[in-house]
Homo-oligomer: A and B are copies of this chain.
Amino acid sequence: MRVFELRDGFGLDRLRRVERPEPTPGPGQALVRVHACSLNYRDQMVVRGEYNPRQPLPLVPLSDGVGKVVELGAGVDRVQVGDRVAGIFAQRWLGGSLDAIGRASTLGSPLDGMLTEYAALGAEGLVRIPEYLTDEQAACLPCAAVTAWNALMEGGARTGETILVQGTGGVSIFALQLAVCAGCRVIITSSSDSKLQRALDLGAAEGIHYRDTPRWDKRVLELTAGRGADHVVEVGGAKTITQSLAAVRIGGAVHVIGVLSGAAAELPLTSILMKGLRLRGIFVGSREMFESLLRSLDVHRLQPVVDRVFDFEDTPAAFEYLQAGGHFGKIAIRIAS
């Protein structure tokens, strides 16, 4: 079967399209014929060797993939042949709290990921995909949509609350869409008027062009009658988090899901203390969260936003496109269908 792998070292130029023998599902496993994958910022870091420089090689990248179950190992009752499924991000985080075992069980590093024609995965690490979604849409869910769900829904966002979403990447657009489903009011930032317009079309109540309005935190206060946002979905990191702390209301929450502009942030602890804020680090989410998300998607027939679909063989181009940063929503890869 066809697989992409990092073998001799890290870097996009080391990502090789190779042949591997098709795996056989062991006991408790299902063999999945992968139809589509999606890219996350994390995958880019993995390929570059920035995510975990000590990652053993070879490695098949990508945490996110969707396909059909084509064969079952012994003792599997959770899925059946023919089911369309996605692998969950952390194969052993099924429910409850994250622990070390769960954290070490993520696809695409340290475990082999989904950039492959076939993957043999533990049946406990699969969820069934609602029919209405295309393969490419479904392939966008495991990391980005579950992260957005964990941030907002496990973080207590409620109808009528104001959610500040930063930018228009994959997690941010899912956060926007889920917040709209949950009856929240969304304020979104971008440096592109056309992206802001697309976000408004998806249900955002307000858009802030952060180059025209560099003090977007003050604008958020204006838009909330001085109260501040109830929740911030923080993807920027070092260069945005101080303004996020200013934009959030007393007693509000900042959900830390990304550090695009830098990981080492000088943080005003006094703001956290004096405003009684919560900061929550979001490490994607559990299978239980994924399944709750899927029920919500199905009820709302929510359409994940796939910016562009690349062919399997063009995966390096997909990574380059991600790096260029011009996308809106998610970037998918089609393997088969």
Contacts and interface: CB of A to CB of B under 8 A. Distances in A.
A100 interface: yes
Contacts of A286: 95-96
A295 interface: yes
Interface in A264-318: 264-283, 286, 288, 292-293, 295-300
Contact of A183 (B74, B98, B283, B300): B300
A263 B268 contact: yes
A160 B300 contact: yes
Interface in A77-126: 78, 94-101, 103
Given A153-B158, A250-B103, A98 B276 contact: yes
Interface stretch (A138-146, A251-259, A319-327): A251-259
Interface residues of A, number: 68
Contacts of A205: 299
30 contacts: A26-B75, A27-B27, A27-B28, A28-B28, A94-B94, A95-B95, A95-B286, A96-B288, A97-B288, A100-B250, A103-B274, A103-B276, A158-B296, A160-B295, A160-B298, A181-B183, A183-B183, A256-B269, A256-B272, A259-B269, A263-B269, A263-B270, A264-B268, A265-B266, A266-B266, A266-B267, A267-B267, A274-B281, A275-B281, A278-B280
List 7 tightest A-B contacts by C-beta distance, closest first: A95-B96, A160-B296, A27-B27, A272-B281, A279-B279, A160-B295, A276-B283
Interface of A: 26-28, 74-75, 78, 94-101, 103, 153, 158-161, 178, 181-185, 205, 227, 237-238, 241, 250-251, 256-259, 263-283, 286, 288, 292-293, 295-300
